[in-house]
């Protein structure tokens, strides 16, 4: 395919579209009004509870944790789930806390993936990532991978632990992207790969029967960090019932 042929395909397609594009353009749709009409005026506690219930619906596990005790909880969870190797970000903000927690098999994602793909795929039991926030309506984590926390940490290991600050739970995806200005400045703040994750990987491709762990993690564990710890505990309690 020569560059020339390509340019002309572009020109021809755009030419046909321009020739046919309607003269009168419809007004911009009012997405804000739609979400204003659908907005739930939930309290913080209700929003957290909704997130927990929805995440549980997707088979995500929500474990309430405290600011000074979450690494202990993580260590206990790893022990309970038989995690022999836990992957963390090379320069993540939680590096030192994790290192101090005495979790066996802790290892950093500190090389380009091409140098250790096999080990990542075959000898890594769990990955730990932070989160940017979450969405209550759908029980969804917002994760923005970067150099410190690469993309595959939340995908390849069979268990994904994600630390979520309860203060960062938005009502809807629309609320999250507008409140945080994702598209401001042409979306320059967006990472090369932004992710929404709602539960472990799943499929219903065989006779509409739901199965977990299709290609990605079989388990998703959300460590829900709530400064007002009662709220989170209550929410998780309700969600268990």
Partner 1 sequence: MSAQHPLQFVPAAEFKQRSVDATSDAHLRQSFRGAMDFLMAKRAAQFPDDASLQRQRAIAEAIRQYSLARLPDLLEQLERNLTAKGVQVHWAENAEEANAIIVGIAQRHSAKLMVKGKSMVSEETELNHAMEAAGIAALESDMGEYIVQLDGEKPSHIIMPAIHKTKQQIARLFAEKVPGVSYTESVDELIGIGRAVLREKFMHADIGLSGVNFAVAETGTLCLVENEGNGRMCTTVPDVHVAITGIEKVVEKLEHVPPLYGLLTRSATGQAITTYFNMIGGPRKGGADGKGAELDGPKEVHLVLLDNGRTQAYADEQMRATLQCIRCGACMNHCPVYTRIGGHAYGTTYPGPIGEIISPHMMGLAATHALPTASSLCGACGEVCPVKIPIPDLLIRLRGEATHEARPGHAPLVGQGAARSALMDAVWAGWAALYTRPALYRAFGWLATRFRFLTPPTQSGWTVSRTPLKPAARTLREQLAERRRKTH
Task: Match 């320069």 to its residue by tokens.
Answer: 91
Instruction: Answer yes or no whether residue 41 interacts with partner 1 by CB under 8 A.
Output: no
Instruction: Answer yes or no whether residue 45 interacts with partner 1 by CB under 8 A.
Output: no
Contacting partner 1 within 52-111 (CB under 8 A)? 54, 58, 90, 109-111
Count of residues engaged in binding partner 1, rule: CB under 8 A: 85
- Whether 129 and 185 have beta carbons less than 8 Å apart is answered as no
Structure tokens at 139: 């029980």
Q: Stretches 44-52, 75-83, 95-103, 131-139: which one binds partner 1 (CB under 8 A)?
A: 131-139
CA distance 32 to 205: 35
H-helix or E-strand spanning residue 18 = helix 3-20
Distances 156 to 72, 85, 123, 205 between C-alpha atoms, Å: 24, 13, 10, 21
Among 44, 84, 99, 146, binds partner 1 (CB under 8 A): 146
Instruction: Give the x/- contact pattern for partner 1 in 1-40, rule: CB under 8 A.
Output: x---xx--xx-xxx-xxxxxxx--xxxxxxxx-xx-xx--
Structure tokens at 210: 């739901």
Instruction: Answer yes or no whether residue 147 interacts with partner 1 by CB under 8 A.
Output: yes
Among 79, 84, 179, 214, binds partner 1 (CB under 8 A): 214
CA distance 215 to 159: 12
Contacting partner 1 within 169-208 (CB under 8 A)? 172-174, 177-178, 182-183, 186-187, 190-208
Instruction: Answer yes or no whether residue 229 interacts with partner 1 by CB under 8 A.
Output: no
- The sheet that has 140-143: what strands, in order across it? 140-143, 133-135, 169-170
């Amino acid at each position: 395919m020569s560059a020339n042929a390509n340019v002309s395909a572009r020109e021809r397609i755009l030419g046909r579209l321009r020739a046919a594009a309607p003269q009168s353009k419809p007004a911009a749709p009012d997405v804000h009004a739609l979400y204003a009409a659908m907005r739930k005026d939930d309290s913080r506690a209700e929003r957290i509870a909704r997130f927990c219930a929805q995440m549980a619906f997707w088979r995500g596990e929500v474990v309430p944790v405290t600011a000074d005790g979450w690494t202990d909880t993580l260590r206990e969870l790893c022990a309970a789930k038989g995690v022999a190797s836990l992957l963390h970000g090379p320069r993540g903000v939680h590096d030192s806390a994790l290192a101090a927690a005495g979790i066996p098999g802790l290892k950093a994602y500190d090389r380009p993936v091409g140098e250790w793909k096999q080990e990542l795929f075959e000898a890594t039991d769990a990955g730990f990532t932070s989160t940017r926030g979450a969405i209550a309506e759908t029980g969804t984590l917002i994760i923005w991978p970067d150099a410190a926390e690469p993309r595959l940490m939340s995908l390849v290991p069979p268990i994904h632990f994600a630390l979520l600050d309860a203060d960062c739970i938005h009502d809807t995806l629309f609320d999250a992207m507008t409140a945080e200005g994702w598209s401001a400045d042409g979306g320059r703040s967006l990472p090369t790969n932004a992710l929404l994750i709602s539960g472990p990987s799943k499929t219903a491709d065989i006779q509409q029967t739901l199965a977990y762990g299709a290609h990605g993690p079989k388990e998703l564990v959300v460590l829900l960090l709530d400064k007002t710890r009662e709220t989170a505990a209550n929410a998780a309690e309700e969600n268990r019932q």
